[in-house]
Amino acid sequence: MEYTYLGRTGLQVSRLCLGTMNFGPYTTEPDSYAIMDKALDLGINFFDTANVYGRKQGEGITEQIIGRWWAQGGGRREKVVLATKVYGKMGDWPNESKLSARHIKQACEGSLKRLQTDYIDLYQMHHIDRNTPWEEIWQAMEQLVQEGKVIYVGSSNFAGWHIVQANELAKQRHFMGLVSEQSLYNLAARTIELEVIPACQAYGVGIIPWSPLSGGVLAGALAKASEGRRTEDWVQERIEKLRPQLEKWEAWCKERGEHPADVALAWLLHQPAVTAPIIGPRTMEQLTGSLRALEIKLSDDDLKALDEIWPGPGGPAPEAYAW
């Protein structure tokens, strides 16, 4: 396994991040345990979850599964750099979602209890909260850091200017601020190259791409699937919309004897701002298959060819659209 630093921190994380969103809804608890154990065996030390994962409002099913896995001991907790999230709706009352100081405190306490741990390595804001001032958010996060309940703070689904605003105000408070941003990023979704990636690079914020395979679209989607996300109607509609590109993409991968999913992950690993793509295996086979991406080396010509199949926005702003 390869390791890198999380943004500008001294924290080392694996180049692949284990996403746990399938644990509970699609992957049984025993199978989830086996996948997490295997991930550690493979050297993957970076796990990502969220308090809303599990598809049962307020219960945090996925966090509970991770907590019971940790409770087995064997140094499991000590080996894992865990990222979880706050923002999502955890109840029907007005203050049971978003980023008020009250909800941040309550959500953190809830996650710690479900996870059966004393601290969260990376506490991520799942979305921007346009109605809560940064002074309030940072005061709450600072308190959690001081209490030892949170070590680092990250964001998810932020715009470039949100990252700048957040870190400039954190700097004024002599607080470290955001160290990571979890964004939608893959060959078929490259919008963040305009503003988010340049902002992250300027502030030493590591990019953690979610949906690196575009919901399975980049994972050999033209082959008929009998189970998994690719069978869902919205994915099938997207496959048909992208069919001309997908035919070129899958042919390009086939010529090189590589599986499309592995090349898609490898492409992300070749992007200098990326810390670790999130792989969300539903099965053990999907987990172990992801490791091939670490071995694939893409030349400049390869990257250029992929740009032709999956064009980005033209580079960072404003050069992408102006002078």
Burial 78-90 (b: 16+ CB within 10 A, else e): eebbbbbbbbbeb
Question: Cβ(209)–Cβ(185) under 8 Å?
Answer: yes
Torsion angle of alpha carbons 162, 164, 166, 167, nearest 10°?
Answer: 160
Sequence-ordered strand ranges (E) for 214-323: 278-279
CA neighbor of 24 nearest in space, from 289, 280, 288: 280
Among candidate residues 3, 26, 33, 53, the one labeled active-site is: 53
In 3D space, the residue among 164, 213, 146, 217 whose CA is nearest the CA of residue 186 turns out to be 213
The two structure tokens encoding residue 170? 């954190």
Classify residue 32 by burial, with Cβ atoms within 10 Å: 0-12, 13-18, 19+. buried
- E strand map for 131-238: 150-156, 178-184, 206-210
Cα→Cα distances 186→29, 114, 191, 274, 310, Å:
29, 31, 9, 11, 10
5 has catalytic annotation: no
Q: What single-letter amino acid sits at 276?
A: A
Question: Number of C-alpha atoms within 13 angstroms, CB side, residue 312?
Answer: 24
CA-based nearest residue to 249, from 302, 301, 201 = 302
Closest listed residue to residue 48, CA positions, set 262, 206, 270, 280: 280
Please list the active-site residues.
53
